[in-house]
Structure formats: C-alpha cells, structure tokens
Amino acid sequence: MNPITNWLLETNTPQIKYRTMTELLGLPKTDLEVKKAYDDLLGSETLKSVMSKFQDKNKWEHINAFLSLYEMGLTRDDVALDEYVERIIKDLNQSMKCARILLLRNLVSLGYYEHPWVKEQIKVSFSTIREDGTVRCIDKGKKSNDSKLPDMGCYRQTTTYLLLAAELKKIGVTFPEFDAIVDFYKRHNVVFRDDVGEKFIIQDMTRTFFPIDHVNIGLHMILYGLSILGDGEQEYCRRAREILEGYKNHEGKYVLSHSFERPYFEVGEIGEPNKWVTLYAKLIEMYSKTESPELTFETTEREEDVKFIEKALTLQNRLEAPSSQSKEPVKYNLVLKDHAGNLVGGIITTMYRYSMYVETLWIDEAYRKFGYGSQLMRQAEETARMHGCTMMQLDTFNYQAPEFYKKLGFVQYGELGYKEGFVRHYLMKRLE
C-alpha cells in the first residue's frame, strides 16, 4: 500500500476511508475492515450533521445533503432516505432548475434509478442535448453567460450532464447522447475555448474546487467523469491533466484551491493538501487505465527486494482478509542445547491467523530416539493454544518423518509427487 493510499485510509476521516476502500480499492462491503469503516461512518458526527440538513426549512440544504451522501459513497440501503427523496421531488421549483441534473446524479448513486420520476427525468433531460453536445443555458432571460459558448451553450450545466452520464455508466446504463457530450470535451481539450487560442471556457472550472454544486465544479470532477466514460487517457485530456497535476505537492497530495465560504460538509482547509481532491485524482488514474503499463522483469537476490514484496503482500492481506488476531505474524522458536551450550536441535514456527505453521523441526542425530522431537512439538502446541490458534500445519517429505507427525495427532490433507519418487506430505492438526 503506498503512502498516499494509507493517508486516505486514516481513521480520523471515516467518510474518505470508506469511499477509498469501496471505490478506489474495490473491496467488498463484507470485508471486516470495510465494515469497521462503515460503522465508524454511520456513527460519525459528519453524517449526523448531513442528515440534520433534511430537517431544515431551506430546500437548498436538502440538495446539499444529497450531494454529501453521494461523496460518502452511501446509498438508500445505508440510511433511510425515501421520505426525503419524495419530498425533494415534490418541492423542486423553478429556482432549483439548474440543480436538477446534479440531483439526478446523486439519486442514481443513492440507488433510485428505478424510481419512475428519476427514470423519466433522466430520459427527458438527455433528449435536450444539442448536436454540439451542450445544453442551452436554462435561464431564458439571460442575454449572455460566462461560458461564452455559441448560442448560449452552458459549460457548467453541460458538465452536470457529464457527471450524470458517468454515474449511469457505473450501473450499466447508457444513452446515445453520451457520445455527443464526450465529443464536446474532445473538441475543447476539456477546458479550452476553440475560438480564442489558450483561453479557458471558464477559468474557475480549472481549479480544485470542492465540494461541488451545479455552479462550482472543480477540474478533478470533469476528468473523473471523462475517465469513467473511458476517455481519461485520451490525448485531448492531456493538457487538463497537466493542469490538475499542478495542484500536486512534493508528497503526491493534491491541494484544495477553492471552496465555499461555509462548505456544506467539512472538507479541509483551502491551500492545504486535501484528501477529497487527492482521492478523485487517484480515481481518475484508476478509471483511466485501459492498457497494461510497460514494466521490466529483473531477477534479484537483494534481501530488501524480498522483504519489500513480503511486506506489501502482508499489507494487502490485512485489508482483503483481516483478522482479529495479531496483525503481525508471531514467531515462536525453541532450541535444545547440550551441557556445553551447543545447539543440538530446535523448532521454528510462525503463528498467524489463528494457525501455527511448523517451518522446521530438527534434532542432531546423536540425540534422536530420546523423545526430544515429541517434546518440542508438544511445547509448540501448548504455545499455539495459549495464543488462540485453532490448528497447526506443516509439510514434510516421505524421506523425513511423516509417520512421526501422524503419531502426534496430525492428519494428512494432501500430497505432491516429485521426480525420483519423492513425495511431499501436507499435514494438519485441529486444536479445538
């Protein structure tokens, strides 16, 4: 696990930890570590604050609550939302018209795509996409807008359609209009006007603004949408990605450039490394990977290389198959010495995930047949029980001592034949 991912997984931000685990790392919600992050999120003050917005008389606070729940990666299966969804549908009015598409995106993410109103509104909405891939400014009273796009094309509103399309793509739903939307960003290299050289369509949307609403949308969100739709690695996105990279500090963390004076949920300080923006940058990388990277193969005898790989696998195992036992393997080694202090035998074991693995058992030939091997095994078994292990396991060749272990209660569960008649026996013993 790299340092940036570990930073995103810190326990003091359970909402980011949970989203990182489920979307970036793709861990199942049944994973024990994910369950813990989920429980921490459900019990957090952040979520309580978000849910309290539904009690506010200001309907825009309800919109903000849905936006917040989207960012946390929660759904209707996690929090009771049906009442609030029906209420916001009923209360949508003309003043909220620009927020409707982003609301639809949030409702899709929350699990409401099959809701009749949601499904119908999505269908109607995409039918308004024009040939150039944009939507016209919804405010018909306006004479101009800050996009400066032809025929009052609205860049901000078009971007909300992009984010809706991306969310639909996640659940396997597509519309023919998706191609026109993507083509629009392709013609403009994501953020540039095509009629005035290097000038941005809207400069505000080249920043890392977060959290978003239908007016304030950061560059990371645009690239996130394009990446989900399969274009993140396309050449036309290169310059926009370079702009986003400009917000990355020497540690690989992305800085929050702008936010609301009072964000609708806590996101961090402006000008500081930001977990949310960094998470989106990592998600852009993840969704953009369409081809295998070019890697080189090298043989190695370097001990540090071996330890690095072993440690990396151990860290991955902790996330994918966590255990309530010690997170680190516990070594238990016991040696035999003669009267002069010389090593004449010993046992080497490792305890991990409630199991003791006997790696090596050896007795000097001069001291065999005195029962020392059995004593070493019994002491190892007693230690395993003390540490809560429920089984012991080992493997031995046919020219070693498989029958010795069977007399101690081990049973064979497999074998592997080698050339020249050698057989490797796999044995285990239940301790429960």
Q: For the segment 172-229, what is each residue's pLDDT rounded down to a tens digit?
A: 999 999 999 999 999 999 999 875 567 999 999 999 999 999 999 999 999 999 999 9
Residue 300's pLDDT band (cuts 50, 70, 90)? confident
Name which residue leads in pLDDT, 291 or 210: 210
Average pLDDT over residues 304-328: 71
Give which of 166, 308, 309 is closest to 231, Cα–Cα. 166
**Phi and psi of 16, rounded to 5°?**
-75, -40
Higher per-residue pLDDT: 152 or 127:
127
C-alpha distances in Å from residue 196, one per residue of 106, 187, 191, 199 = 34, 13, 12, 6
- Checking if the pLDDT of 128 tops 70, the result is yes
Please tell me what DSSP assigns to residue 234.
S
Q: Give me the DSSP letters along 46-109.
A: HHHHHHHGGGSS-HHHHHHHHHHHHHHT--TTTS--HHHHHHHHHH--GGGGGGHHHHHHHHHH
> What residues contact 10, with CB distance under 8 A and at least 6 apart?
16, 17
Sign of the four-CA dihedral 393, 397, 402, 408: negative
Residue range 353-374: average pLDDT? Answer: 92
Q: Kindly state the average pLDDT of the residues 356-364.
A: 94
Please give the pLDDT value at position 314: 73
- Cα(421)–Cα(413) distance, integer angstroms: 19
Query: Integer distance in angstroms from the first to the last C-alpha of the chain?
Result: 35
pLDDT, one tens digit per residue, over 39-68 is 999 999 999 999 999 999 888 999 999 999
Alpha helices in 289-427, H assignment, sequence order: 303-320, 372-386, 402-407
Residue 234 CB-half CA count within 13 A: 18
Share above pLDDT 70 across residues of the chain, in percent, rounded to a whole number: 94
Of residues 67 and 316, more confidence is placed in: 67
Summarised one tens digit per residue, pLDDT across range 89-104 is: 998 877 788 899 999 9
The pLDDT assigned to 325 comes to 53
Which residue matches tokens 């944009």?
134
Q: What pLDDT does 408 receive?
A: 94
Token readout for 159 is 């971007």
| pLDDT at site 79 | 96
pLDDT digits (tens, 9 = 90+) for 402-414: 999 999 999 999 9
Whether the pLDDT of residue 326 is over 60: the answer is: no
Cα gap 136→120, rounded to integer Å: 20
Mean pLDDT computed over 352-375? 92
Residue 280 or residue 322, greater confidence: 280
Q: How many CA atoms lie within 13 A of 353 on its CB side?
A: 8
Q: How confident is the model at residue 274 (pLDDT cuts 50, 70, 90)?
A: very high
What pLDDT score was predicted for residue 419?
85
pLDDT for the residue numbered 431: 93
Three-state SS at 128: coil
Q: Is the pLDDT of residue 140 over 70?
A: no
**What separation in angstroms does the CA of 164 have from each of 201, 255, 380?**
21, 25, 60
If you count DSSP H runs as helices and E runs as strands, how many of each does the chain have, helices first? Answer: 16, 6
Q: pLDDT digits over 220-254, tens only?
A: 999 999 999 999 999 999 999 999 999 999 999 99
Looking at 154-158, 351-355, 375-379, which range is the least confident one? 351-355
Q: Is the pLDDT of residue 29 over 90?
A: no
Average pLDDT over residues 341-370: 92
> Which of the four pLDDT bands, split at 50, 70 and 90, describes residue 320?
low
> In this structure, what is the dihedral angle of CA atoms 2, 207, 130, 138, given to the nearest 10 degrees?
130
At residue 145, does pLDDT exceed 90? Answer: no
Q: Is residue 292's pLDDT more than 80? A: no
- Which helix H or strand E contains 276, and what residues bound it? helix 275-288
Question: E strands along 154-201, which residues?
Answer: none
Let me know: does 427 contact 377? Beta carbons within 8 Å. Answer: no
pLDDT value, residue 323: 56
Residue 310, pLDDT score: 81
Percent of the chain with pLDDT over 90: 75
Q: What's the rounded mean pLDDT across residues 329-339?
A: 92
197/189 Cα distance (integer angstroms): 11
Residues 6 or more apart whose Cβ sits within 8 Å of residue 169: 178, 228, 229
122 exposure class (CB count in 10 Å sphere: 0-12, 13-18, 19+): buried
